[in-house]
A and B are shown apart, each in its own frame.
Chain A
Amino acid sequence: MTYTQIGIAVVIVAIVTDVLILRTRLVTRRGFWVAYAIVVFFQLLTNGVLTRLQVFRYSDSMIVGYQPDAGPPPFIGSGRIVYQPFEDLLMGFALCLLAMALWVYWGRRGVQREPMSGPPIWRTWAARRRSSGSSGGTASTSAAGADPGGPGDREPTA
């Protein structure tokens, strides 16, 4: 099997795992796709550096594109996107979806569901500044007002 064929296969395996086996259904969630957009941007950047420098070299017969004998591969074209074979994007998607789905799966099973993520530190700072400026309230009331109903900063349970 070629890298192209395996790449397509692992994407299918990852989606089937997410939707049918773990039933986490991350591919239906907006949060997953926004996170993946961030991941793929940095993949194109970092993997682009490594493939341009030819830290990785691919066998011609295993990818859609070709591997030049000398010099960097094309920036785009010949099955490559930012120097890397598009097959790398398949591998990256499958790897990240699998890891994220398993992370959510174990959380749903109750393994360290808490403490939940957030809020970003700047929101706490902004709330603290607001409350100390308006009424000079205590730290405890400002912390409570900073994140109404949200995940607590210090959850007692593990």
Chain B
Amino acid sequence: MELERLTYLGVLLFIFLGSAWLEIALRTRVLRRWKRLLLALAIPFTLFVIWDVWAIATGHWSFDPDRTVGVELFGVIPVEELIFFVVVPLASILSLEAVRSVKGWPLGDEAPTEVQGGDAR
């Protein structure tokens, strides 16, 4: 297999490695919280893969057979696309937690503070 066929896969690897280091350096703890991660990824993955399959079948876009590995699912969708819809949302969640790690800005999922308990008054 020519090296050129790894083009798309190589870019996906770059996206993964380019975001996964945040897990260690910024302690994002996203991969460690894998159950929550799977719950977050399941719906976007399903929706966007359905859209992708339909768009390829309808002729909205196509892929260069010389720059993909050539493994296709459901007869149309390159395996790289399935990896894309995992790696890219993962990178976005890692970025979100990286910003929180550095800046400490709240995102709305913080534990309720105990001050609101009542007997403090």
- Give me the interface of A with B, judged by CB distance under 8 Å: 2-3, 6, 10, 24-26, 29-32, 34-36, 38-39, 42, 46, 49-50, 53-59, 62, 91-92, 95-96, 98-100, 102-108, 111-122, 150, 153
CB contacts (< 8 Å) of B47 on chain A: these are: 98
Expressed in whole angstroms, the minimum distance between the Cβ of A88 and any Cβ of chain B is 10
Are A112 and B100 within 8 A (Cβ)?
A: no
Q: How many Å lie between the Cα of A107 and that of B18 in the bound state?
A: 24
Are B18 and A50 within 8 A (Cβ)?
A: no
CB contacts (< 8 Å) of B37 on chain A: these are: 103
User: Which residue of the partner chain A has the closest CB to B95?
Assistant: A35
Q: How many Å lie between the Cα of A136 and that of B8 in the bound state?
A: 52
Given contacts A3-B60, A95-B44, contact A117 B26 (CB under 8 A): yes
User: Which residue of the partner chain B has the closest CB to A25?
Assistant: B108
Given contacts A115-B32, A116-B29, contact A100 B62 (CB under 8 A): no
Q: How many Å lie between the Cα of A112 and that of B35 in the bound state?
A: 8
Interface size of B in residues (CB-CB distance below 8 Å): 59
Q: List 19 A-B contacts (CB under 8 A).
A: A6-B51, A29-B106, A31-B96, A31-B105, A31-B107, A35-B96, A35-B98, A55-B7, A55-B63, A56-B62, A56-B63, A62-B59, A92-B88, A95-B48, A98-B89, A102-B39, A106-B40, A107-B36, A117-B27
CB contacts (< 8 Å) of A2 on chain B: these are: 60
CB contacts (< 8 Å) of B92 on chain A: these are: 35-36, 39, 95-96, 99-100
Those of B1-53 within 8 Å (CB) of chain A: 7-8, 11, 14-15, 18, 24-30, 32-33, 35-37, 39-41, 43-44, 47-48, 51
CB contacts (< 8 Å) of B75 on chain A: these are: none
Q: How many Å lie between the Cα of A108 and that of B104 in the bound state?
A: 17
Are A31 and B7 within 8 A (Cβ)?
A: no
